[in-house]
């Protein structure tokens, strides 16, 4: 009785001082986030609805202008340029499966290889390289005389590909997409490698006793159990593909290369804003790009929400992976 009362009597002061301290934990991060992230994002959104010169509300006019422009979508014929939006989608359509399956295949193969960590580091080097340097390297790679790719095709007798890839609209975009596979595969390799270590060995042993082939084991055990990892790789890779900027800028020019063949949304936005000074349409491109990235991220976001609601029943995948990574010296 006595104890309860003193407890109650002491509580208010400590409760409020605790609350103040606890609020202070959030203050610096909140201030920076609001001033330099949230507010500018909302401002860009607002800009996209205002007239370029007048600043008056013009509804969706800017969106109409941008989406109607051949710079964004150019499907009048099947020739390059196809427009920034189509280029980004092409990037996803080609780059995503290539980098995902190459990384998965390598991760599976390297399980049985000595010195696997060295090979992984070699592949991962592309992820560490500044993308602006990556773009420069790609430019050299596809150089007619001193580039290894055209020279290789020349030696193989494929005349049509023994050219300066970056100087022809028909090869430029594909060259950069294939080149970005080289730069980004390290990501899916590392993430899949970590994911593979979370699958208990006895699953495979049991399957082997039952006489399952390696392909059956992959189809029935590995691939289904890696699904959450695949979701992560797909999300992160698509986000990366949508945000492509440096590679194209460095490998070509600020116009997306010869005939604008490799133009992408991020580059288009930069050009509108900082070359043409057209903030309204730059804001439209940025908003469209953000819409796409949020759409992609929402899949993972949804999983996080579900995970939070389910909260704490089983150790999270992160916890499991971290435990395994930590065990390694």
Partner 1 sequence: MKRWSLARLRIRPRTVAIHAFAWGLGFLWLLPFLGVLMTAVRPVGEILHGWWVFDPFNPTAKNFVTAWTDPSTPMWRGIRNSFIVAIPSTAIPIFIASFAAYGFARFRFPIRDYLFLTIVLFMAVPQQMVAVPIFLRMIEAGLLDNFLGVILLHSSWAIPWILLFMRNFFQTLPVEVEEAARVDGASDLRIFLKIVLPMALPALAAVAVLQFMWVWNDFFFATVLLYSPQNLVATQLVPLLSVAGPYQRDQAVLSAASMIVMIVPVAIFALLQRYYIRGMIGWTIKG
In angstroms, give the least distance from the CB of 78 to partner 1. 28
Find residue 57's DSSP bridge partners: 50
State which of residues 52, 126, 256, 257 lies at the interface with partner 1 (CB under 8 A): 126
Q: Give the phi and the psi of residue 199 in degrees, each rounded to 5.
A: -85, 120
State which of residues 82, 176, 234, 242 lies at the interface with partner 1 (CB under 8 A): 242
Report the phi/psi class of residue 115: left, alpha or beta, with left for phi > 0 and alpha for psi in -120 to 50: left
In angstroms, give the least distance from the CB of 167 to partner 1. 13
Spatial distance between the Cα atoms of 284 and 67, rounded to a whole number of angstroms: 9
Structure tokens given for 139: 């430019």
**3-state class of 283 per DSSP?**
helix
Write the interaction track for partner 1 spanning residues 35-74; mark x where CB under 8 A is met and - where it is not. Answer: xxxxxxx-xx--x---------------------------
> Shortest CA distance to 298 belongs to which of 287, 306, 286, 309?
306
Handedness of CA 8, 11, 12, 15 (dihedral sign): negative
Decide: residue 157, CB within 10 A, 0-12 exposed, 13-18 middle, 19+ buried: exposed
How many CA atoms are closer than 13 Å to the CA of 42, on its beta-carbon side?
6
State which of residues 118, 159, 210, 211 lies at the interface with partner 1 (CB under 8 A): 118
Contact status: 269 vs partner 1 (CB under 8 A): yes
Taking the least distance from each CB to partner 1, the nearer of 2 and 112 is 112
Spatial distance between the Cα atoms of 44 and 52, rounded to a whole number of angstroms: 13
- Number of CB atoms found within 10 A of residue 98's CB: 18
Contact status: 79 vs partner 1 (CB under 8 A): no
Spatial distance between the Cα atoms of 88 and 252, rounded to a whole number of angstroms: 16
Spatial distance between the Cα atoms of 318 and 114, rounded to a whole number of angstroms: 26
Taking the least distance from each CB to partner 1, the nearer of 80 and 279 is 279
Piece of the chain touching partner 1 by CB under 8 A; list 73-81, 201-209, 211-219, 275-283: 275-283
Contact status: 316 vs partner 1 (CB under 8 A): yes
Structure tokens given for 22: 């606890």
Contact status: 190 vs partner 1 (CB under 8 A): yes
Contact status: 276 vs partner 1 (CB under 8 A): no
CA angle 46, 39, 36 (to 5 degrees): 135
Piece of the chain touching partner 1 by CB under 8 A; list 5-13, 51-59, 92-100, 273-281: 273-281
Residues 87-116 that bind partner 1 (CB under 8 A): 106, 109-110, 112-116
Residues 208-237 that bind partner 1 (CB under 8 A): 228-229, 232, 236
In angstroms, give the least distance from the CB of 120 to partner 1. 8
State the residue for tokens 């949230």: 38
Piece of the chain touching partner 1 by CB under 8 A; list 31-39, 49-57, 159-167, 217-225: 31-39
- Total binding residues for partner 1 by CB under 8 A? 108
State which of residues 58, 89, 207, 297 lies at the interface with partner 1 (CB under 8 A): 297
Taking the least distance from each CB to partner 1, the nearer of 79 and 231 is 231
Residues 152-181 that bind partner 1 (CB under 8 A): none
In angstroms, give the least distance from the CB of 329 to partner 1. 9
């Amino acid at each position: 009785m006595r104890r309860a009362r003193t407890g109650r009597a002491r509580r208010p002061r400590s409760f409020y001082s605790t609350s103040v301290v606890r609020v202070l934990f959030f203050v610096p991060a909140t201030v920076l986030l609001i001033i330099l992230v949230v507010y500018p994002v909302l401002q860009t959104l607002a800009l996209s609805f205002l007239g370029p010169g007048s600043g008056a509300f013009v509804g969706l006019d800017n969106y109409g202008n941008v989406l109607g422009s051949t710079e964004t979508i150019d499907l009048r014929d099947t020739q390059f340029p196809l427009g920034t939006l189509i280029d980004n989608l092409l990037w996803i359509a080609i780059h995503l499966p290539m980098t995902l399956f190459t990384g998965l295949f390598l991760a599976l193969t390297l399980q049985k290889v000595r010195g696997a960590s060295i090979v992984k580091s070699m592949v991962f080097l592309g992820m560490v390289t500044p993308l602006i340097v990556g773009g420069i390297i790609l430019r050299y790679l596809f150089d007619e005389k001193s580039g290894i790719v055209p020279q290789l095709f020349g030696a193989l007798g494929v005349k049509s590909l023994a050219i300066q890839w970056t100087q022809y609209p028909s090869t430029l975009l594909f060259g950069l997409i294939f080149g970005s596979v080289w730069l980004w595969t390290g990501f899916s390799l590392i993430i899949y490698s970590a994911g593979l270590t979370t699958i208990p060995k006895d699953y495979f042993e049991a399957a082997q006793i039952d006489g399952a082939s390696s392909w059956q084991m992959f189809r029935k055990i590995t691939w289904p159990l890696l699904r959450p990892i695949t979701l992560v790789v797909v999300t992160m890779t698509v986000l990366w593909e949508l945000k492509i900027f440096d590679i194209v800028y460095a490998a070509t020019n600020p116009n997306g290369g010869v005939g604008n063949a490799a133009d992408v949304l991020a580059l288009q936005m930069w050009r509108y804003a900082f070359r043409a000074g057209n903030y309204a349409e730059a804001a439209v491109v940025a908003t469209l790009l953000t819409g796409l990235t949020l759409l992609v991220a929402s899949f993972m976001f949804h999983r996080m929400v579900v995970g939070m609601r389910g909260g704490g029943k089983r150790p999270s995948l992160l916890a499991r992976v971290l435990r395994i990574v930590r065990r390694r010296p």
